[in-house]
């Protein structure tokens, strides 16, 4: 169908050109009879072009009645040509701006968080992530979401959104899915999420994927399907509600600790996570010495350490003295906003566990 349209356009262009040349030949014929100054093909083409483009130098002009009739045709044709050019340029600019707004030109984000599916829950997750300054790419299949997302994060260069059909997996190349750190699949129905994940894994095998489920009973199914982390909304909510019922102060502390980033004052603590590199001052130290040094030097408390063992991450809570801080481990700390910058500077890594492909 596209080839047929191209062929028709070419035929139209050829027909218009032939009519133009034909009118020029007729113009030359009558102008020669009237001893006008348009007597050659070169003169005729020049006159036709400057007339159609509305330049009109006036160096050539018809004197015969038929020549002037043809001139009138050229004058009206010039208006049509001008309208065509302006309309064509306007359409191209409009289409470009529309595609840019819809994210069709993609992003160059790397090691970013990719959110597939947009709703209020995804917005809350995005609000927490951007506090850490990590880039976030959002894919939605609802054009109405684009304006809302752009308006909400118009001043944040770390947020990119794209309109696309979720099942058009090739479109995900535009959001650099292969170079993303983590993919959060946030579709409304758990069954739809599972089917989508199986297709996603076939195309992109090395993805680190997080899903949020409505049905906690499906957690093991998703883990077996290759999901890195599975979160149950109801499970988390029920635990927090139960905690508020019989230990409200613990629940209040837990809710506050779950914040992605503290407000930046000495009284506001949250749980933070840092990768251990060779630059980390606690690398190769035991956890007891690490605990004491963190409290003395950073007013922070070591809560746990995450180690990658047997092809999976193992979280050791309240680690004993026998546990050594190793390369690639993650320290889980309770720290305040004042000390976050010092921790990042001395550890030489940003806060957070950004999984790498």
For residue 1, the model assigns a pLDDT of: 57
Identify the burial level of 346 via C-beta atoms within 10 angstroms of its C-beta, where 0-12 means exposed, 13-18 middle and 19 or more buried: middle
* Tens digit of each residue's pLDDT (9 = 90 or more) over 215-228: 888 888 988 888 88
> What are the CA-CA distances from residue 336 to residues 52, 73, 299, 301, 340 (Å)?
72, 79, 8, 10, 6
For residue 264, the model assigns a pLDDT of: 47
- How many Å apart are CA 38 and CA 63, to the nearest integer? 9
- How many Å apart are CA 268 and CA 123, to the nearest integer? 24
pLDDT band at 281 (very low <50, low <70, confident <90, very high): very high
Pairing of strands 229-232, 269-275: unpaired
Mean pLDDT on 324-337: 91
For residue 263, the model assigns a pLDDT of: 45
Model-level pTM greater than 0.85? no
pLDDT band at 270 (very low <50, low <70, confident <90, very high): confident
For residue 76, the model assigns a pLDDT of: 81
Higher pLDDT, 241 or 213: 213
- Residue with the two structure tokens 């036709």: 48
Above 80 in pLDDT, residue 33? yes
At 71, which helix (H) or strand (E)?
A: helix 65-101
- How many Å apart are CA 273 and CA 247, to the nearest integer? 26
Q: Based on C-alpha coordinates, what's the Rg of the chain?
A: 34
Higher pLDDT, 113 or 254: 113
Mean pLDDT on 279-286: 94
| Cβ-Cβ contacts under 8 Å for 338 (sequence gap 6 or more) | 264, 265, 266, 299
- How many Å apart are CA 270 and CA 59, to the nearest integer? 81
Nearest CA to 261 among 204, 195, 343?
Answer: 343
- Mean pLDDT taken over the chain: 85
Pairing of strands 330-336, 182-185: unpaired
* Tens digit of each residue's pLDDT (9 = 90 or more) over 250-269: 777 777 777 655 444 445 67
Domains and CATH numbers, the chain: 2-101 (1.10.287.70), 113-237 (3.40.50.720), 265-347 (3.30.70.1450)
What percent of the chain stands above pLDDT 90?
41
* Tens digit of each residue's pLDDT (9 = 90 or more) over 126-179: 998 888 778 999 999 999 999 999 999 988 899 999 999 998 999 999 999 999
| Residues 94, 143, 173: CA angle, nearest 5 degrees | 85
Structure tokens given for 314: 């193992």
* Tens digit of each residue's pLDDT (9 = 90 or more) over 50-93: 887 777 777 788 888 888 888 888 888 877 777 777 888 888 89
């Amino acid at each position: 169908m596209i080839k047929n349209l191209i062929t028709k356009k070419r035929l139209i262009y050829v027909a218009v050109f032939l009519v133009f040349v034909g009118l020029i030949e007729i113009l030359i014929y009558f102008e020669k009879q009237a001893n006008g100054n348009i007597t050659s093909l070169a003169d005729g083409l020049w006159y036709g072009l400057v007339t159609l483009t509305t330049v009109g130098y006036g160096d050539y002009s018809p004197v015969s009645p038929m020549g002037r009739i043809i001139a009138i045709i050229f004058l009206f044709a010039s208006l049509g040509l001008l309208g065509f050019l302006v309309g064509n340029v306007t359409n191209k600019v409009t289409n470009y701006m529309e595609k840019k707004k819809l994210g069709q030109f993609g992003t160059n984000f790397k090691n970013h968080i990719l959110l597939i599916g947009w709703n209020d829950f995804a917005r809350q997750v995005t609000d927490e992530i951007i506090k850490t300054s990590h880039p976030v790419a959002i894919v939605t299949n609802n054009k109405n979401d684009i304006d809302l997302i752009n308006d909400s994060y118009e001043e944040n260069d770390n947020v990119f959104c794209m309109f696309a059909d979720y099942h058009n997996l090739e479109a995900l190349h535009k959001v650099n899915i292969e170079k993303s750190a983590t993919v959060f699949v946030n579709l409304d129905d758990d069954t739809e999420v599972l089917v989508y994940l199986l297709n996603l894994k076939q195309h992109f095998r090395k993805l680190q994927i997080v899903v949020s489920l409505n049905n906690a009973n499906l957690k093991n199914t998703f883990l077996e399907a290759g999901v890195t982390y599975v979160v149950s909304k109801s499970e988390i909510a029920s635990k927090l509600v139960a905690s508020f019922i019989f230990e409200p102060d613990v629940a209040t502390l837990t809710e506050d600790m779950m914040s992605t980033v503290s407000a930046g004052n000495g009284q506001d603590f949250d749980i933070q996570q840092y990768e251990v590199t060779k630059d980390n001052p606690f690398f190769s130290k035991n956890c007891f010495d690490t605990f004491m040094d963190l409290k003395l030097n950073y007013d922070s408390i070591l809560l746990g350490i995450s180690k990658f063992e047997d092809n999976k991450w193992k979280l050791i809570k309240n680690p004993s003295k026998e546990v050594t801080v190793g390369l690639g481990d993650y320290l889980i700390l309770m720290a305040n906003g004042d000390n976050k910058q010092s921790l990042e500077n001395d550890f030489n890594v940003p806060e957070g566990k950004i999984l790498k492909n």
